[in-house]
Amino acid sequence: MNRSRISILLFLFLAITLLDGHAQSGGKSLAEKLGFARDSKLLIVHADDVGVTHSVNAATIKALDTGLVNSASLMVPCPWFPEIADYAKSHPTVDFGLHLTLTSERVYYRWGPVASKDKVPSLIDENGYFHHDWAATTKINSNKLPVFIARDWFADHPYLESSLTSGDIVLDHTVTIAPSVPPEKWAEFYKTALKNLQPGVTELVIHLAFADDEMKAATRERDTWGAAWRQRDFDFFTSQKFRQLLQEQNIKLVTWRELAHAARQ
């Protein structure tokens, strides 16, 4: 996972305001706080990038309706944010968070900051859009925002663990598919990931859209996280096969909202 994708995966979850310390540094585990046994396999199926296009919105709403996808993050600066904000207002119990958005990574379809451009000159390019990407040396200052961090990342990024405070909550694992998986192995990758799911809370980060004209055009300069990729994710995560795997592997779905509630107890 490159630095750009990490920047895209920093989530600020609206529902979480105060979290009470390192779940596994003593006392109850996250799973136990949620009311499950310590060795339960708990899963958040989280749809990324909502608001970026109509296609992503439509696919995510349809997937949420199945109950198999149960969490999603919204990109506020994107042009289709008003559509999903309207949906969120009429569906107040859906597990939506905010997707911290500091890049505009595509070529033919772009956006800039919500803030006045004068106030955030380092975030924008010469055309006033967010930069396509960030340099590896860019410092991310999250302003004490509660962000999505998983213990899996500590080995590669030791500064994450050392910068944790008593106000932080940390997921146990995260899973997301990589560009190295060929399209025909897509379902197999997820099936294996679900069969090998470890105890604790895992966030599965997925990318939904329909491979329609809008999405193909918005992502046509490269295949990674493109229209076909997102259609494959949609197809798997709204399938009966996925529902059966959850049952067979005794995996329970949980939400960020439940985590926030449990952490406040």
| CB-nearer residue toward a second copy: 98 or 164 | 98
Residue numbers 74-113 binding a second copy by CB under 8 A: 79-80, 82-83, 86, 107-111
CA distance 11 to 14: 9
**Residue choice 37, 115, 140, 145 for contact with a second copy (CB under 8 A):** 115
Q: In this structure, are residues 9 and 205 in contact, taking their beta carbons and an 8 Å threshold?
A: yes
Site string for a second copy, 156-195 (x = CB under 8 A): ----------------------------------------
| CB-nearer residue toward a second copy: 114 or 145 | 114
Q: In this structure, are residues 60 and 208 in contact, taking their beta carbons and an 8 Å threshold?
A: yes
* Residue 59, CA distances (Å) to 10, 35, 65, 206 in order: 22, 31, 10, 12
| CB-nearer residue toward a second copy: 59 or 262 | 59
| CB-nearer residue toward a second copy: 121 or 182 | 121
Contact between 218 and a second copy per CB under 8 A = yes
Contacts of 132 (CB under 8 A, 6+ apart): 103, 104, 105, 106, 107, 125
Smallest gap from residue 228 Cβ to a second copy (A): 17
Write out the DSSP string of 63-100. HHHHTSS-EEEE-TTSTTHHHHHHHHHH-TTS-EEEE-
Task: State the residue for tokens 């939904």.
Answer: 208
Contact between 222 and a second copy per CB under 8 A = no
| CB-nearer residue toward a second copy: 5 or 110 | 110
Piece of 28-36, 40-48, 207-215, 228-236 that binds a second copy (CB under 8 A): 207-215
Contact between 217 and a second copy per CB under 8 A = yes
**Joined tokens for residue 92:** 């107040």
Query: By rule CB under 8 A, what count of residues binds a second copy?
Result: 28
CB burial readout 179-215, b (16+ within 10 A) else e:
eeeeeeebbebbbebbeebebbbbbbbbbbbbbeebb
**Residue choice 29, 55, 60, 202 for contact with a second copy (CB under 8 A):** 55
Q: Which of 221, 237, 244, 264 is nearest to 64 (CA)?
A: 237
> Which residues here bind a second copy, judged by CB under 8 A?
53-55, 57-58, 79-80, 82-83, 86, 107-111, 114-119, 128, 210, 212-214, 217-218
